[in-house]
Chain A
């Protein structure tokens, strides 16, 4: 089944403790992206990647890191999480062109206390 797999689905952590949210897609998509979704603010892009070893900042990249060492994986790293990073996170992937749109992962609900 074609899908984007995110883990974990839920995570509660403490301020300053490094964490990684994994994202993997099995559709051979070139393009992958991370979004956070907060009430009243909609989906905001954190980072995106056009292909292996090609990444760029989105609209809200501060406090996050990403890497794209393989085409299928695009992990999101929070080196020192803070409470303002409490949010619902989505990974998404797509072909680089065409009208197929993004396929989204199921989401990761992160709480930083």
Chain B
């Protein structure tokens, strides 16, 4: 089976930086995704890592270490609108095709 762990909740101040960690134990790893989800809305795609290293996209960066089964999402210059849940998801290569499995999500609260 697979196990994906991330913290349940984090609080940060507007303008600051927050790092959300995700650890996973899987077989057949084929990529890691980060999604943002505002309450009651659909998840929206943020980033994708399949090779080790850092991917930067504006204020958001994502890092992957496959040997450690570890990723983090870094949110810089936090804004109030960044208050949301952040979902780590691992894509597994299965005989029947790719399968995307989600962690429980990290709720980030940005305070003024």
Q: Using CB atoms and an 8 Å cutoff, list the residues of chain A in contact with chain B.
A: 31, 33, 35, 40-45, 48, 50, 54, 56, 58-59, 88, 90, 94, 96-97, 99-107
Do A101 and B48 have beta carbons less than 8 Å apart?
Answer: yes
| B50 contacts A by Cβ under 8 Å | yes
User: Majority SS of interface residues in chain A?
Assistant: strand
Interface-side segment among B17-25, B65-73, B75-83, B96-104: B96-104
- The 9 A-B residue pairs whose C-beta atoms are closest, nearest first, are A99-B48, A104-B42, A42-B104, A101-B45, A50-B97, A43-B102, A56-B96, A101-B33, A42-B102
B95 to chain A, nearest CB (A): 9
Residues of B within 8 A of A (CB): 31, 33, 35, 40-45, 48, 50, 87, 89, 96-105
Q: Is the interface of B mostly helix, strand, loop or mixed?
A: strand
Question: 18 A-B Cβ contacts within 8 A?
Answer: A31-B97, A40-B104, A42-B103, A42-B105, A44-B102, A50-B96, A50-B97, A88-B40, A90-B42, A90-B43, A94-B100, A96-B98, A101-B45, A102-B33, A104-B44, A105-B42, A107-B40, A107-B41
Instruction: Write the nearest CB–CB distance from A111 to chain B, whole angstroms.
Output: 14
Q: B99 to chain A: which residues have CB within 8 Å?
A: 45, 48, 58
Q: Could you say which residues of chain B place their CB within 8 Å of the CB of A102?
A: 33, 43, 45, 100
Question: In the complex, what residues of A have CB within 8 A of residue B48's CB?
Answer: 99-101
List residues of chain B with CB within 8 A of the CB of A107.
40-42
* Complex Cα–Cα for A58 and B40 (A): 23
In Å, the complex CA distance between A43 and B48 comes to 18
